[in-house]
Amino acid sequence: MNPSIDNVKDTQLRDEISYLGAMLGEIIQDFEGQDAFELVEELRRLAWERREGSESAEQEMLNRIAQLDEHQSAVVIRAFSLFLDLMNVVEDRARVRVLKERSAKLWPKPVPESIGSAVETLRSGGRDAQAMQTIVDQLHVELVFTAHPTEAKRRSQRTHLSLLRTLMTSIDHEADPQQKSRLEEQLLRQIALAWQTDLTRSRRPTVLEEVARGLSFKPVLWREIPRITEELNQSLAQQFGPEVSATKPLITFGTWIGGDRDGHPGVTSPVTESTFEWLRREALAFHSRTCEQFSYSLSVSETQLPLPPTLRAAIDEATQQYPELEAHLAFLPSTELCRLWLNTIGWRLKQTEKMSLASGTGVRGAYANAEGLLADVSLLADAIGQTVAAKYLSEDLRTWVTQIRTFGFYLARLDVRQNSKVHRETLDELLVATGLCDAPQNLTEADRMALLEKTLSPQLQLPIQEISETSQEVLATFDVLHRVSTRYGQTGIGALIVSMTSTASDILTLLWLWRHTSKPSVGYKVPPLVPLFETISDLQAAPEIMESLLRCRSYREALAAHDDRQWIMLGYSDSTKDGGYLAASWDLYKAQQTLASVAKEHDVRLTFFHGRGGSLGRGGGPAARSILSLPHGTFDGTLRLTEQGEVLADRYDDQAIAHRHLEQVVWSSLLAADHAQRSPEPAWIECLDSAAIVSLAHYRELLEADEFVAFFRDTTPLTEIEQLPIGSRPSRRKPQGGLSDLRAIPWVFSWTQARCLLPAWYGVGTALAKLNADAPDVAREMYQQWWYFRDLVDNAELALAKSDMQVFQHYMRLTDGSEGEKWIADRIQQEYETSRQQILALSGGSELLDGTPWLKESIRVRNRFIDPLNLLQVELLRRRRQSDPDAASGDKQQILLRLTVNGIAAGLRTSG
């Protein structure tokens, strides 16, 4: 392929795209022949001419696509899909290059949106050392990798692209022409391997495969987190002196994968148990490898560098406590104390690896927890720190100390989530089986709360054999949690999350189940019990629910074990699907403020857990910007934030991009924790209250239209997306459920594929039209001075820019043409144009994304390569719907449709 990219401003980026495109073209000719290559080139040329305004090019392209047979279709889809993957690699490299150039140009000053710039801003804003230490001490962000898979790309293909990126970097730094030529040959072979690799999965992954896939970025995280900590400490020392420093992890990680059983029959208690073991095993392996590396490199001899007596004393004490260590250490010189101590640590780590939940006895010499390892490594670091070699040898050990504090004996804390309805049904069965209540389903909320609190103790003997299999599985999950707590401690357990929380008793039920499944006289505490408020109605009821819960004496006693800190999770995906982007965003904003007030009245501190999706229609967007947009007074330095699907690959596949993402998270968190941001004016709140009402009504009018569900199915590849084997989770909470039971991921994914990102902007235009008409000066003031409102508008603008109504018109032609569906189509197109005009009126631009020209240009160039995939997808949808679903061609059409889904997702760099 020889892409026409004359208007791409970055010369190196343009050259690299052409370079890789030419290689891909050569591979297509070699594997598929000259005719296939010319076909791809013809469609590429027509797509380019179409975007340049040629009136005939679109029809020519449609005619050509209609003539393609299945093999030709497969070649075209693979060609454009792989080219878009290559373009992503080149764009990522350009992004890293720009970051490095900017850093070099500004050095020694910090780059914008970096940790150094945040510390400098706080210092110039008048914060002294004591205030800065307080901010740093309070800061803790936990990034949670969730079990919602939206990464359409196979891990095999990601691996090929990662190796390709590495080869290109090697070519950049290779001066020897002969070696450079060899690397270019390897690059060509790598693209050939990618061409020959299946782009779609043949089956759904198992949950445990998802566990491994979801945390496949662990090597990048392992390396980058210490760098982030070191950068913060260096910046603090420069601005405030060495007395201010970070003494605990700034960023830690959690995961839902293997613990999220809400509507997922594949997540069972054995799977959750295996997940705990996997996370522990992987973390211990990292520590063991690190220890081994140090034992090779830290060949310090006491004859050359006298060390404090504490180190030899520790070695002697260990060998006395564990005599078998003497034989293990005998091969080492007695003067190499560092190696002797590191081999002692290594032996204990190996002993720790022998522990398991299945084994009932302890393992001699094993670490009880990560604190023991931390103490041993810190002893070595302190010993070296007292010598003249400290400035040469201490940094690497500090890195390991940071890794121990961050990752412990688990790479990520595992959350366990279940639907409130499942817990409630289990409780009702147990209340009946134990004789505590004959008809619990008839209890009022007040009576249920009273009964639960009254029967929390003493511990009951639960008649497990008298309840249903579903309820037995609930109790089995609690048994796993108790065994983990007893065997390993609770550092690997995150939160117990109740989805669809609608009453205070939903949370008290969780405490009741925990108490009555625990072992008597065991001193561990209940993990954080976290309500998840997901729908618009639940968000509005959340303050009253928490008020009732915090008045409950037994619950407050449990919360006291967590220093009176309550976690509350907010669901962005379902609330946005339920009420539309603007109304959901505003309800989430107000819910946080009201919940913060309730907590303050009860002398409780809040940590909000933001369940944001990867896409704009599910609360996505830049994480740093969302942190700065948090409501005033609701962020005290702690929060949890979900990350998922293609977002994980985009943020963590490349080490430099991962570093940038993490430093922006810390940058925004430092500024937000300072509480220096302006609170919104009363007039602003009043305006958004009115705008949200208008937006919600307009959005619900669309969704409640008689033929909307039929229109949605007709104009998007929803059916095909529901059947995609990209994740283990079913696409619906109920197999035969309607739109309300459809998960937010396929909802957004389907609209995105059809190039109409409706969930992220529908209702925004109508609401802004009223706002701009009623109070234009206030609207502009809000956009210029209020982080939250600007973020809301800018995200909608990006979604509009990624939408393409001309392409979506082709999908709309798949409908039956009824009056109801025509009305829906007209409403969508009108709202798109209204939203576009109203956002431009606020931003002052003449076109969408005028304020971010690089992104605008990226979308413009990409469209030329995504368009053929969209038009081919429409053609395949038409063929599939007109053919016999039982015919052999149906399977081939399904495979081709899946390929188009993969390619379009790669081109848009988003799915759902």
Q: Which of 56, 48, 476, 551 is nearest to 269 (CA)?
A: 476
Q: What is the distance between the alpha carbons of residues 878 and 551, in angstroms, rounded to a whole number?
A: 58
* φ, ψ for residue 640, nearest 5 deg: -120, 150
Task: Look up residue 616 and give its DSSP letter.
Answer: G
Q: Which entry of 577, 661, 770, 810 is annotated as an active-site residue?
A: 577
CB atoms within 10 A of CB 887: 10
* Alpha-carbon distance values, 801 to 485, 615, 758 (Å): 49, 14, 12
Q: Which of 721, 574, 726, 728 is nearest to 265 (CA)?
A: 728
Angle in degrees, CA 457, 459, 461, rounded to 5? 145
Q: Which of 804, 768, 769 is nearest to 789 (CA)?
A: 768
Tokens of 343: 């081999």
CB 237 within 8 A of CB 673: no
In a 13 Å sphere around the CA of 737, the CA atoms on its Cβ side amount to: 13
Q: What is the distance between the alpha carbons of residues 189 and 197, in angstroms, rounded to a whole number?
A: 12
Give, rounded to a whole angstrom, the gap between the first and last alpha carbons of the chain.
29
Q: What is the distance between the alpha carbons of residues 189 and 786, in angstroms, rounded to a whole number?
A: 51
Q: Which of 127, 145, 126 is nearest to 135 (CA)?
A: 127
Tokens of 582: 């603007």
* φ, ψ for residue 81, nearest 5 deg: -65, -45
Total H helices, total E strands in the chain: 38, 8
Q: Are strands 565-571 and 413-419 parallel, antiparallel or unpaired?
A: unpaired
Task: Look up residue 318 and give its DSSP letter.
Answer: H
Q: What is the distance between the alpha carbons of residues 39 and 185, in angstroms, rounded to a whole number?
A: 26
Residue whose structure tokens are 């490349």: 654
Angle in degrees, CA 94, 96, 98, rounded to 5? 70
Q: Is 691 helix (H, G, I), strand (E, B) or coil?
A: helix
Helix axis angle, 370-385 relative to 337-353, nearest 10°?
Answer: 170
Q: Which residues contact 477 (CB under 8 A, 6 or more apart)?
A: 261, 269, 272, 416, 418
Beta bridge partners of 605: 565
Residue whose structure tokens are 């089956």: 203
Tokens of 479: 């048994």
* φ, ψ for residue 133, nearest 5 deg: -65, -40
CB atoms within 10 A of CB 551: 12
In a 13 Å sphere around the CA of 748, the CA atoms on its Cβ side amount to: 30
Active site residue 264: no
Residue whose structure tokens are 């197109």: 829
Active site residue 562: no
Task: Look up residue 241 and give its DSSP letter.
Answer: -
CB 300 within 8 A of CB 336: yes
Angle in degrees, CA 115, 145, 598, rounded to 5? 75
Q: Which of 402, 320, 407 is nearest to 369 (CA)?
A: 407
Angle in degrees, CA 234, 238, 240, rounded to 5? 110
Q: What is the distance between the alpha carbons of residues 571 and 205, in angstroms, rounded to a whole number?
A: 25
Tokens of 100: 């490095």
CB atoms within 10 A of CB 770: 18
Tokens of 892: 């081939």
Q: Which entry of 140, 148, 153, 802 is annotated as an active-site residue?
A: 148
Q: What is the distance between the alpha carbons of residues 114 and 132, in angstroms, rounded to a whole number?
A: 16
Show which residues are catalytic. Answer: 148, 577
